[in-house]
C-alpha cells in the first residue's frame, strides 16, 4: 500500500482566520478572497496608475491624481460596468 500523507487540518490563512472554526470553510474562503481584492491597489481610470484604494463601500479614490469615483462595493469596476463599457464602445464604433 502506498503511504498517504494527510494535509494539516484547521489552518485558515489570511484575514478570515479571526473567525476560527465558525461559519464554514467556504464562507471563510470567500471573505478572505473578497478582503484581499478590496484591500489591494487598482488601476486608476483617469491617470492609468496603480494607485486606487477603497475609501468606503463603493467609494474609490486614486492616491496620485485624487480622482474619486463610485464603483462596486469590493472592486472598482463590476462585471456589469465592464459590459456597459463594451456596449458603449461598440455603439461609438458603429457611428464612426
* Bind-site residues for Zn(2+): 44, 47, 62, 65
Q: Give the Cα separation of 46 and 69 in Å (integer).
A: 10
C-beta of residue 57 within 8 angstroms of C-beta of residue 73:
yes
Strands 68-70 and 42-43: unpaired
Q: Which residues are annotated as a binding site?
A: 44, 47, 62, 65
The three three-digit cell numbers of residue 1, written as one number:
500500500
Amino acid at each position: 500500500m502506498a503511504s498517504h500523507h494527510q494535509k494539516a487540518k484547521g489552518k485558515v490563512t489570511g484575514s478570515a482566520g479571526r473567525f476560527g472554526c465558525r461559519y464554514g470553510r467556504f464562507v471563510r474562503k470567500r471573505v478572505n478572497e473578497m478582503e484581499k481584492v478590496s484591500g489591494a491597489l487598482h488601476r486608476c481610470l483617469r491617470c492609468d496608475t496603480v494607485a486606487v484604494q477603497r475609501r468606503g463601500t463603493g467609494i474609490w479614490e486614486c492616491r496620485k491624481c485624487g480622482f474619486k469615483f463610485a464603483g462596486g462595493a469590493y472592486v472598482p469596476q463590476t462585471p456589469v460596468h465592464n459590459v456597459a463599457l463594451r456596449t458603449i464602445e461598440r455603439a461609438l464604433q458603429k457611428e464612426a
